[in-house]
């Protein structure tokens, strides 16, 4: 049985590491130590949808999840395939509404998590303030470079770069135009907007 101590990790690292272990050896049982209830819930959902049985033991300091593969362990992420390309369209340098700093952290974590998924988008289109994600001094440049190395086409709206005076600061990917962005979305099988 493999032991994974997630007690000092922040989201999304616990669920990413457990998923990696599941994929590395789908027949191995896992013992996961957690100090955070949100991580416990996320890992429990992942295990359940992946065909694992779950035993939970809680003490005053942490929770231990014992995850055992079932007779037929299913692949994680078993959603049906859409026909056509999958696009990620980031129209902002943050995720959701509300606190700006939290929104930037959420989008950064979303991009980090994409590095760990088996299914990746074909292209990432950056529009409006989303172009800031690929420009000098952005915390997301290294992450986008890693995604580009996995074969993802990363394209930033030229008009948006001009508007924010960032054309010379682009560090990742290429410059595109609204015609390409519109055509790509019209022919896409799936569009993700974080």
How do the domains of the chain map onto residue ranges? Answer: 2-69, 86-192
DSSP 57: E
β-pair type (52-58, 63-69)? antiparallel
pLDDT digits (tens, 9 = 90+) for 136-186: 999 999 999 999 988 899 999 999 999 999 999 999 999 999 988 998 999
Mean pLDDT in residue range 10-32: 88
Mean pLDDT of the chain: 89
pLDDT digits (tens, 9 = 90+) for 34-66: 988 878 888 988 888 788 999 999 988 899 999
| pLDDT of the residue at 82 | 53
Element (H, E) at 3: strand 2-5
Residue 154: half-sphere exposure toward Cβ, Cα within 13 Å: 25
Mean pLDDT in residue range 19-44: 89
> Which of the four CATH numbers 3.40.47.10, 1.10.3720.10, 3.30.110.40, 3.40.190.80 does domain 2-69 have?
3.30.110.40
Nearest alpha carbon to residue 121 among 142, 148, 145: 148
- 120/143 Cα distance (integer angstroms): 14
pTM: 0.68
**Do 2-69 and 86-192 share a fold?**
no
Classified as helix, coil or strand, 133 is: helix
- 133/88 Cα distance (integer angstroms): 13
- What is the CATH architecture of 86-192? 3-Layer(aba) Sandwich (3.40)
E-strand ranges in 6-51 read 30-34
Any idea which residue has 């600061």 for tokens?
A: 169
The answer, yes or no, to whether the previous bond of 80 is cis (omega within 30 of 0) is: no
Q: Which of 34-38, 127-131, 185-189 has the lowest mean pLDDT?
A: 34-38
Mean pLDDT in residue range 112-124: 90
Q: Which residues does 139 contact at the CB level (< 8 Å), separation at least 6?
A: 104, 108
Tell me which of 72 and 178 has the higher pLDDT: 178
177: number of Cβ within 10 Å: 11
Q: Which residues does 41 contact at the CB level (< 8 Å), separation at least 6?
A: none
């Amino acid at each position: 049985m493999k032991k994974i101590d997630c007690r000092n990790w922040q989201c999304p690292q616990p669920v990413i590491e457990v998923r990696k272990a599941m994929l590395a050896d789908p027949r191995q049982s896992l013992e996961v130590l957690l100090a955070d209830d949100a991580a416990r819930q996320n890992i429990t959902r992942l295990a359940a949808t992946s065909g694992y049985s779950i035993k939970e033991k809680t003490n005053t300091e942490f929770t231990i999840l014992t995850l055992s593969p079932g007779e037929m362990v299913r692949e994680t992420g078993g959603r049906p395939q859409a026909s056509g390309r999958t696009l990620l369209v980031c129209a902002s340098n943050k995720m959701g509404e509300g606190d700006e700093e939290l929104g930037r952290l959420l989008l950064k974590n979303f991009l980090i998590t994409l590095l760990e998924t088996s299914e990746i988008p074909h292209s990432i289109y950056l529009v409006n303030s989303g172009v800031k994600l690929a420009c000098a001094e952005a915390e997301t440049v290294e992450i986008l470079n890693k995604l580009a190395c996995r074969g993802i086409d990363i394209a930033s709206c030229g008009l948006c770069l001009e508007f924010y005076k960032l054309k010379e600061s682009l560090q990742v990917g290429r410059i595109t135009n609204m015609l390409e962005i519109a055509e790509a979305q019209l022919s896409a099988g799936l569009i993700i907007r974080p």
